Chain A
Amino acid sequence: MIWLFERLPGSRPVRIAIMSILVLMLLTAVIWSYELLGDLLDSGGTVGG
């Protein structure tokens, strides 16, 4: 993260904003994949469909 932060263009506030967005996107991707993988553990017990 620090490695990426130091290589981002712009002033410090701009780099913090970019990093915040990237972290948010990463977290969203992780949670979304958890939802999909979660169906393998327990899909809710419905039958059919």
Chain B
Amino acid sequence: MGVYLLGFVAYQLWFTNILTERDQAELEAALESRFAAVEVDQVPLDEVYDPFSGLTFGTDGTDPVENAGNDAAFLLIEPSAPAGDAFAQIRIPKIDVDVTMVEGVERGALKKGPGHMSDTPLPGQPGNAVISGHRTTYGAPFHNLDALAAGDTIEVDSVIGTHTYVVREAPERCANDEGLCIVPQTGLWVTDPLDGAWLTLTTCHPKFSSRQRLIVFAELVAGPNAAILGAT
């Protein structure tokens, strides 16, 4: 039994990291191919669906183009990658994260790297782009997510360009004494559409347990679509 448990710990905390490291090397190459092959679409803003209002831009009484002071009334859009494929790179300087993300949050996808929840917008698009990642196994990309505080930056490189997000305060609804947003595994509300363009990171909490989820909300402040979306 002791040998079994030692084997379990070694497999989870050591061997899975080796597997993910190998996958990440392949994903990096695949991401370069995607960047070279995929074409970016320009879509008129008034044809773009806003997940927050449930309307297309320009039909909800506001004019984000005027708000942004930008004449370019087009939003840059990229096609989604197939499930499990590389689609973007995420960098979080404060916690030394620089990994390739994959499409989808299925078990197999998350073994390779952080995954994009497919029914949420892609990073750089209006609404709430949700990314999930392991905390203690499979490369543990979000191991130190609890060290992020309001004002820290997160960058995402996608086909469109580099999107810069700034971490915002945890909502009162989920903030604990340390200012971290902690929700139960069933806390699906964290994926709800938000006004503007947001990136929401989710991981297990506390470390070495999947009992709860640690959530980090970050708002788009710069990037190819930031001005037209009225990012501040």
Contact = CB atoms under 8 A, between A and B. Distances in A.
B135 A42 contact: yes
A44 B213 contact: no
A46 B136 contact: no
B11 interface: yes
B151 to A, nearest CB: 23
B105 A34 contact: no
B156 interface: no
B202 A42 contact: no
Contact of A41 (B4, B137, B186): B137
A41 B136 contact: yes
Contact of A47 (B7, B16, B183): B183
A48 B130 CA distance: 12
A46 B8 contact: no
Interface residues of A, number: 15
Nearest to B114: A45
B163 interface: no
Contact of B210 (A31, A34, A39): A39
B117 interface: yes
Contacts of B105: 44, 46
B1 to A, nearest CB: 12
B69 to A, nearest CB: 36
Contacts of B133: 44-45
Given A31-B11, A37-B8, A45 B142 contact: yes
Interface of A: 30-31, 34, 37-48
Given A43-B210, A44-B132, 4 more contacts: A41-B208, A43-B185, A45-B132, A46-B202
